[in-house]
Amino acid sequence: MSYLNHDGHSATVSEPNAGLLQETTHPTQKRMKIGAGEQEPDEIDALLAMSDRFEELPETARLEESRPIDAGVPVTLTPPIIPLPKNKVYGRYRAQSGVFELELRVDIDGPNPLQKISGDYYQISGQTKSYFGSFIVDGITKTLANGVITITGVANTTWSTSFKKIKLAIKQTLILQPLAPAFLQWFHITTNAPGALYVCNHFSWAFRTVRLEQDHVQGVAPFVSYNTGALPSGGPARVLSINTAYQEAGVEMVNAGLTNVAPVVNLTPPADQWSNAELHQAMVTNFSLYQSSPQWASWLLHAYEHEYGPGLYGIMFDSQGASQRHGCAVFYKGIGGNTADQQRLQLYTCVHELGHTFNLLHSWQKNLATPPKPNIPNSLSWMNYPWNYPQGGAPAFWNAFPFQFDPVELTHIRHGFRNNVVMGGNPFTTGSALENIAGLFEEPIENHSSLFLELEAKNTYMYGEPVCLETKLKTNSMVNTRVISNLHADYGFVTIGIKKPGGEIKVYEPLAERCTIPTTTVLNSRTPSIYESSYIGFDKDGFIFDQPGYYQIKAVYHHEDGSRIVSNTLSIRVKNPVTAKDDEAAELMLQDDTGYLLSFLGSDAPYLQKGNDALQLLNEKYKDHPLSVYAQFVRGVNAQRFFKTITEDKKITAREPDYGQGGALLHEVIDKSKSGKGLDNISLNQAMQTLAKAYHRQGNKEAADNMAKDMVKYFDKLPIKEHVKEKIRRQAATLFVRE
């Protein structure tokens, strides 16, 4: 499709700001239909008279007084003029012209106005409608004259266009009248030539509308509401639910129903603990609105406990594949109860986890977004951790917390480009606040913290071999130093960057965003270091170490006081396959379904069956190959645990553990690892603990005790630090406390 541009030459229509012809594939041409006729305005002012078609009410009211009975001369009193109030002008407007539909967001008035306008374009083709692009005007100029609000500015758009200047005119109406239409005119960025004009009618006070579906496990009382005046806070007292908390942010949360989920009979720990694999499977099968594509819909599960323990309050587990951020869960073992502080924590956790489905990062992780934003560790926001607050910790945070998102987050929620916000749109962190991370891993010029971060891993890996990174935080001070001990990469307190052989810099982004109250420990001369092992080979974007060559790894630990402790640079090499068997085994390990199973440590989910088939084939056909130990480990751990599924009739069923198969697989893993042909020491420790607990659940206490003793005996012989050996002894002594 082509049109004549302003110099008389033919031009192709490809975007919506230049002005519309009657039939076009693009919303920016010069002519558009208005009502029954066609207009070709050069200025938006020429159309403002059209708004006079709305019936006017008098702007003042006059009261008449009767004349006194005993007066000889008639008297009429004129009371003071009482002006009628005007409507607030904000919310969503909509216009359709030709093949384009515009959804416009006006944020200049009303509750907490951000003084921005934005919009989304959709293209209509027959009976279908598809997303075209988004724009935002951050810096606006606003004037009011003769009852008309006029807004001008320059837009940032998701598509390439020369028509970036915008002029928006809205006639004020009285409180008893409907809102007047919004006239939006585009102009060329350099010539000021007028482009497309849209007459948009108001249809919602909310900037977004999201359908929220909530399910809960029977026995868990889901959060309902909290009075923010029950405890000291930084905002006005009001009763907040999940819906009203988001209403204050400009989001209309439409309830899609709350479904009771019945558990299996006699469900006991650890079967009542939820794994990430179970959560994702439950969402796919039980979220009635679920579809693997962008949609304004979220799922929230209210459950009892995550397998990581009661310190994990909530999780946004849906960070895998192309369509992410549909679902999250909260866990009432850590947040449950009826006291004011417990109800406050439930409100906070629910709003926080749903915030992740809008693609919001934690306040101290904004620089991990694409494009990056400045970190705001002292933000009084739903997305900060109260216990991480640098100006006094949780007590100071709650005393000042206004129960709101901060302005940066509000801008994202209300005006972010559609695919950066909508559930199932761009992946988690993309557009949420790592294209440019050059400064993320730079060494501080000064470090007075006495803390150091060290990375350790094998020097070389086979092609397809899972890469596990050991993260060690240590001190060189004799003085007690309290540190966060959640060093696993999935918790977010340690950020890991990888430079790939081709030069690409990749930040590890976990499949599930764990939100937990951090555990702390004290480092000193007796306990100078803590450590953790993280599998970093697969994340939300797929496999990371997916090509032979040299990789560089660096990490940052985010200390409680805001300090950035940057690690050493670790170099590892992924070797080329040597034999055909090496190549075939690697292909089985590098399937996406296998990557999810490695991250989840197994799953029964039907959509991961190809991965389970690949691991089983690796165990059977390549049993003696070095990569088979990882398949045995994943299958062994999964076999030793319950696996819960929510059925179509809304009941929880739990597959019982297969202790025989799981025990045989884990024994082989342990034997191979002890001989130096298997797992790293931290993963081996995990395998031995898993097997010991499985024996204990079976009632075979002798075998459980023997495995715990063997764990202590084996690591006592290794050349590792004494405080590490002491930690393993404590682990063995408390292994069965929760069993």
Give dist(CA 553, CA 492) in Å, integer: 16
Give dist(CA 601, CA 161) in Å, integer: 48
User: 345 CB contacts (<8 Å, ≥6 apart)?
Assistant: 313, 335
CB 377 within 8 A of CB 208: no
Residue 3 has pLDDT above 60, yes or no: no
The predicted model scores a pTM of 0.69
Percentage of the residues of the chain whose pLDDT score is greater than 90? 51
Which pLDDT score, from 0 to 100, does residue 1 have? 35
Host H or E run for residue 354: helix 340-357
Residue bearing the bigger pLDDT, 269 or 544: 544
CB 65 within 8 A of CB 52: no
Q: What's the whole-number average pLDDT of the chain?
A: 83
Inter-CA distances, 207 with 331, 351, 410, 538, Å: 30, 17, 11, 36
Beta strands in 100-207 (DSSP E): 100-107, 116-125, 128-137, 140-145, 148-154, 156-157, 165-171, 182-187, 194-204
Task: Specify the 3-state DSSP secondary structure of 12.
Answer: strand
Residue bearing the bigger pLDDT, 689 or 44: 689
Q: Is residue 540 a part of any domain in this protein? A: yes
Region 188-199: mean pLDDT is 92
Same domain as 199, residue 317: no
CB 622 within 8 A of CB 584: yes
Residue bearing the bigger pLDDT, 431 or 492: 492
Which pLDDT score, from 0 to 100, does residue 144 have? 93
Give dist(CA 553, CA 533) in Å, integer: 14
- Please give the backbone phi and psi of residue 375, each rounded to the nearest 5 degrees, phi first: -65, 145
Which pLDDT score, from 0 to 100, does residue 645 have? 85
CB 520 within 8 A of CB 484: yes
**Cα 170 to chain centroid, rounded:** 35
CB 182 within 8 A of CB 48: no
- Please give the backbone phi and psi of residue 194, each rounded to the nearest 5 degrees, phi first: -70, 145
Token code pair at residue 130: 């598809």
The residue among 204, 227, 251 that closes a domain is: 204
Same domain as 223, residue 192: no
Token code pair at residue 209: 């509308």
User: 104 CB contacts (<8 Å, ≥6 apart)?
Assistant: 92, 93, 94, 95, 117, 118, 119, 182, 184, 198, 200
Which pLDDT score, from 0 to 100, does residue 62 have? 32
Same domain as 212, residue 198: no
Q: Is residue 732 a part of any domain in this protein? A: no
Helix 592-600 crosses helix 609-621 at what angle (to 10 degrees)? 90
Region 32-59: mean pLDDT is 41
Residue 271 has pLDDT above 80, yes or no: no
Same domain as 121, residue 107: yes
State the Rg of the chain over Cα: 31
Residue 6 has pLDDT above 60, yes or no: no
Inter-CA distances, 543 with 45, 146, 289, 429, 503, Å: 56, 61, 29, 17, 16
Inter-CA distances, 32 with 16, 27, 40, 92, 104, Å: 11, 10, 7, 21, 17
Q: Is residue 535 a part of any domain in this protein? A: yes
Q: Is residue 707 a part of any domain in this protein? A: no
- Please give the backbone phi and psi of residue 147, each rounded to the nearest 5 degrees, phi first: 75, 10
Q: Is residue 259 a part of any domain in this protein? A: yes
The residue among 150, 171, 204 that closes a domain is: 204
Which pLDDT score, from 0 to 100, does residue 46 have? 52
Give dist(CA 667, CA 660) in Å, integer: 11
Region 4-17: mean pLDDT is 45
Cβ neighbours around 575 below 10 Å, total: 13
Amino acid at 668: E
Q: Is residue 366 a part of any domain in this protein? A: yes
Among residues 287, 284, 298, 290, which one has the least CA distance to residue 259? 287
User: How many domains does one find in the chain?
Assistant: 3
Which pLDDT score, from 0 to 100, does residue 67 have? 39
CB 180 within 8 A of CB 88: no
Which pLDDT score, from 0 to 100, does residue 248 have? 96
Region 407-434: mean pLDDT is 82
Residue 151 has pLDDT above 70, yes or no: yes
Region 412-425: mean pLDDT is 92
Which pLDDT score, from 0 to 100, does residue 660 have? 92
CATH classification of the domain holding 393: 3.40.390
Tokens 């003793």, located at residue: 709
Strands 451-456 and 148-154: unpaired
Same domain as 230, residue 200: no
Which pLDDT score, from 0 to 100, does residue 4 have? 32
Task: Encode pLDDT of 66-113 as tens digits.
Answer: 334 444 555 555 666 677 888 999 999 999 887 889 999 999 998 899
Give dist(CA 96, CA 200) in Å, integer: 8
Give dist(CA 93, CA 201) in Å, integer: 5
Which pLDDT score, from 0 to 100, does residue 317 have? 85
- Please give the backbone phi and psi of residue 662, each rounded to the nearest 5 degrees, phi first: -60, -40
Task: Encode pLDDT of 605-643 as tens digits.
Answer: 988 999 999 999 999 999 889 999 999 999 999 999 888
Residue 533 has pLDDT above 60, yes or no: yes
Count CA atoms closer than 13 A to 468's CA, side-chain side. 16
Residue 328 has pLDDT above 70, yes or no: yes
Give dist(CA 296, CA 393) in Å, integer: 35
Which pLDDT score, from 0 to 100, does residue 64 have? 36
Region 545-558: mean pLDDT is 92
Give dist(CA 192, CA 429) in Å, integer: 36
Give dist(CA 112, CA 119) in Å, integer: 19
- Please give the backbone phi and psi of residue 712, each rounded to the nearest 5 degrees, phi first: -65, -45
CB 298 within 8 A of CB 310: no
**Cα 347 to chain centroid, rounded:** 17
Inter-CA distances, 377 with 102, 230, 371, 393, 485, Å: 37, 26, 18, 11, 19
Region 49-65: mean pLDDT is 38
Same domain as 494, residue 417: no
Token code pair at residue 489: 């990469």
Region 566-582: mean pLDDT is 92
Task: Encode pLDDT of 345-375 as tens digits.
Answer: 999 999 999 999 999 988 877 766 766 677 7
Region 647-658: mean pLDDT is 83
Give dist(CA 170, CA 148) in Å, integer: 6
Region 208-230: mean pLDDT is 92
End-to-end CA distance of the chain: 70
Task: Encode pLDDT of 118-148 as tens digits.
Answer: 999 988 866 667 788 999 999 999 999 989 9
Which pLDDT score, from 0 to 100, does residue 80 have? 66
Which pLDDT score, from 0 to 100, does residue 25 have? 44
Host H or E run for residue 516: strand 513-516
Q: DSSP letter at 362? A: P
Tokens 């969503």, located at residue: 92
Which pLDDT score, from 0 to 100, does residue 449 have? 83
Which pLDDT score, from 0 to 100, does residue 479 have? 87
Q: Is residue 458 a part of any domain in this protein? A: yes
Same domain as 196, residue 102: yes
Residue 337 has pLDDT above 90, yes or no: yes
Name the residue range of residue 261's domain: 208-421
Same domain as 464, residue 390: no
Inter-CA distances, 2 with 9, 38, 390, 703, Å: 10, 19, 58, 79
Which pLDDT score, from 0 to 100, does residue 307 have? 86
Task: Encode pLDDT of 669-719 as tens digits.
Answer: 999 999 888 888 888 998 999 999 999 988 899 999 999 999 999 999 998
The residue among 140, 172, 204 that closes a domain is: 204
Residue 28 has pLDDT above 60, yes or no: no
Residue 725 has pLDDT above 80, yes or no: yes
Which pLDDT score, from 0 to 100, does residue 739 have? 57
Same domain as 539, residue 462: yes
Residue 27 has pLDDT above 70, yes or no: no
pLDDT band at residue 53, thresholds of 50, 70 and 90?
very low
Residue 382 has pLDDT above 50, yes or no: yes
CB 186 within 8 A of CB 197: yes
Q: DSSP letter at 635? A: H
pLDDT band at residue 63, thresholds of 50, 70 and 90?
very low
Same domain as 155, residue 56: yes
| Helix ranges, 358-417 (H) | 393-400, 407-415
Q: Is residue 120 a part of any domain in this protein? A: yes
CATH classification of the domain holding 451: 2.60.40.3880
708-711: long-range contacts, CB 8 A cutoff, minimum separation 24 = 708/732, 708/735, 711/685
Same domain as 333, residue 466: no
Give dist(CA 166, CA 151) in Å, integer: 8
**Cα 207 to chain centroid, rounded:** 19
Strands 327-331 and 460-461: unpaired
Same domain as 471, residue 395: no
